[in-house]
């Protein structure tokens, strides 16, 4: 990862100030970053700021340092290009091959991965022209991250906010770590659904049944899929993590809410990853008021089963859709493998990820190890590794299944 030559394009949006933080993250990680702002971007952040933070010269036009042919040389040497923010105007010019400044000229000469992080008002993002331009760029192999939902300029709120710099940096890091050089990302055009976290089943307004799932592994699946070019929907159950860049996040609380959201999102999806830990049971009765403690008398809770979401997906999944489920076991060994294989069959899934869990193990940790078992009985041991690396290893297995399926058609 370290020492990569990166071009940071900045177009003229109010979110340009956030790119200063992205630049700092990239340079502190050891990368050489050449900033190419548009003329409009300099209305928000001036040349001295970009030059001081990058330690590199800053130009906007092809007419500066002409003898170095910058509009060709910069693109030829780049290992990764990111445009953040990417305005509707910049996306339109890039999609139509217009080269009227140094940034758009550079975008025509690069042969490395290109990432756009759009930022604009909701109406502009949803305009048919922008939708078509984004589709064109993605079809050509660029990774166009969906903008985040949140506060925009003025009092407006909606989809169009630039993802946080740390999350854009995470996407760029995954691309560099994988050494992606393909002209088209391997998940381009794929729709991915990922669940994460643990559901809560409330007994009263303040107490609930739940579990220790942090959502970190599910979020890692979402981040890495986005970095490989997928359109990702992340269904998060009670997770206190930053939204991954370029991912649509749906927040839920209970197992019933998770069930509804997953069934809606799974329509038309290429793969569904059930990384969340839904509660198996819920209280039969809910108290509208806080249950009072009785002297030396423990309450008796009557529980009823929750629906088996993974099994429902397995029974109804269309041909070609891949269902990936998780099996959490507290003791490793042959019995754990047998239990995971039984779960794979019961859910009618395609892959099962077996984790050995427990106190200070997997839940809440940044690293993980797993055994992935497919319907043919093949078991693949992965890790220990960072959860993002492990997610990429699992995605490699999914990608291989897609390639095999395509080859047999």
Token duo for residue 358: 């427990």
The rounded mean pLDDT for the chain is: 91
pLDDT greater than 80 at residue 2: no
- Tell me the range of 58-67, 205-214, 251-260, 363-372 where mean pLDDT is highest: 251-260
Backbone region of residue 72 per phi and psi (left: phi > 0; alpha: psi in -120 to 50; beta: other values): alpha
What distance in Å separates the CA atoms of residue 303 and residue 324, rounded to the nearest whole number? Answer: 28
pLDDT at 61: 76
Q: pTM score, two decimals? A: 0.90
pLDDT tens string 100-144: 999 999 999 999 999 999 999 999 999 999 999 999 999 999 999
Token duo for residue 134: 């984004």
User: Quick one: pLDDT band at residue 71, thresholds 50, 70, 90?
Assistant: low
Residue whose C-alpha is closest to residue 135's, from 247, 229, 207, 260: 229
CB contact set of 359 (below 8 Å; sequence gap of 6+): none
Instruction: State the chain's maximal CA–CA distance in angstroms.
Output: 87
| Four-residue CA torsion sign, 390, 245, 81, 95 | positive
pLDDT greater than 70 at residue 213: yes
pLDDT greater than 70 at residue 405: no
CB contact set of 240 (below 8 Å; sequence gap of 6+): none
User: Quick one: pLDDT band at residue 359, thresholds 50, 70, 90?
Assistant: low
Instruction: Let me know if 54 is exposed, middle or buried by CB neighbors in 10 A (0-12, 13-18, 19+).
Output: buried
Residue whose C-alpha is closest to residue 35's, from 49, 44, 275: 49
CB contact set of 254 (below 8 Å; sequence gap of 6+): 199, 200, 201, 202, 282
Q: Which of these ranges, 35-49, 74-88, 254-268, 391-405, has the smallest mean pLDDT?
A: 391-405
Higher-confidence position of 406 and 46: 46
Token duo for residue 102: 């140094």
CB contact set of 236 (below 8 Å; sequence gap of 6+): 195, 196, 197, 215, 218, 219, 249, 250, 251, 252
What distance in Å separates the CA atoms of residue 357 and residue 329, rounded to the nearest whole number? Answer: 6
pLDDT greater than 70 at residue 212: yes
Higher-confidence position of 61 and 263: 263
**Domains along the chain with CATH numbers:** 5-178 (3.40.50.1950), 191-287+300-408 (3.40.50.10300)
* Residues with a known catalytic role: 211
């Amino acid at each position: 990862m370290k020492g990569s030559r990166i071009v940071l394009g900045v177009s003229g949006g109010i979110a340009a100030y956030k790119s200063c933080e992205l630049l700092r993250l990239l340079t502190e990680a050891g990368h050489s970053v050449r900033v190419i702002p548009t003329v409009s971007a300099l209305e928000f952040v001036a040349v001295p700021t970009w030059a001081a933070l990058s330690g590199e010269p800053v130009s906007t036009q092809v007419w500066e340092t002409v003898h170095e042919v910058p509009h060709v040389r910069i693109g030829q040497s780049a290992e990764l290009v990111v445009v953040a923010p990417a305005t509707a105007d910049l996306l339109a010019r890039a999609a139509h091959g217009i080269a009227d400044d140094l940034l758009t000229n550079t975008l025509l000469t690069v042969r490395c991965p290109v990432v756009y992080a759009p930022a604009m008002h909701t109406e502009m993002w949803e305009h048919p022209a922008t939708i078509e331009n984004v589709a064109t760029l993605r079809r050509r192999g660029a990774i166009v991250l969906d903008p985040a939902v949140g506060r925009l300029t003025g009092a407006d709120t909606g989809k169009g906010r630039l993802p946080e710099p740390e999350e854009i940096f995470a996407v760029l890091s995954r691309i560099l770590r994988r050494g992606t050089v393909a002209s088209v990302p391997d998940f381009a055009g794929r729709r991915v659904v990922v669940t994460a976290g643990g559901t809560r089943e409330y007994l009263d307004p303040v107490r609930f049944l739940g579990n220790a799932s942090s959502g970190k592994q599910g979020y890692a699946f979402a981040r890495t899929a986005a970095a490989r070019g997928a359109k990702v929907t992340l269904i998060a159950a009670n997770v206190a993590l930053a939204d991954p860049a370029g991912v649509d996040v749906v927040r839920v609380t209970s197992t019933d809410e998770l069930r509804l959201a997953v069934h809606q999102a799974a329509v038309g999806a290429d793969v569904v990853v059930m990384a969340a830990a839904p509660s198996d049971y819920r209280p039969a009765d809910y108290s509208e008021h806080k249950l009072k403690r009785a002297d030396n008398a423990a309450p008796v809770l009557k529980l009823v089963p929750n629906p088996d979401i993974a099994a429902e997906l397995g029974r109804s999944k269309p041909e070609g859709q891949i269902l990936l489920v998780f099996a959490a076991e507290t003791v490793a060994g042959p019995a754990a493998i047998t239990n995971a294989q039984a779960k794979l069959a019961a859910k009618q899934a395609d892959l099962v990820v077996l984790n050995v869990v427990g106190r200070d193990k997997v839940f809440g940790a940044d690293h993980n190890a797993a055994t992935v078992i497919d319907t043919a009985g093949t078991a693949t041991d992965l890790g220990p590794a960072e959860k993002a690396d492990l997610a990429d290893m699992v995605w490699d297995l999914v990608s291989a299944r897609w390639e095999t399926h395509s080859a047999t058609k």
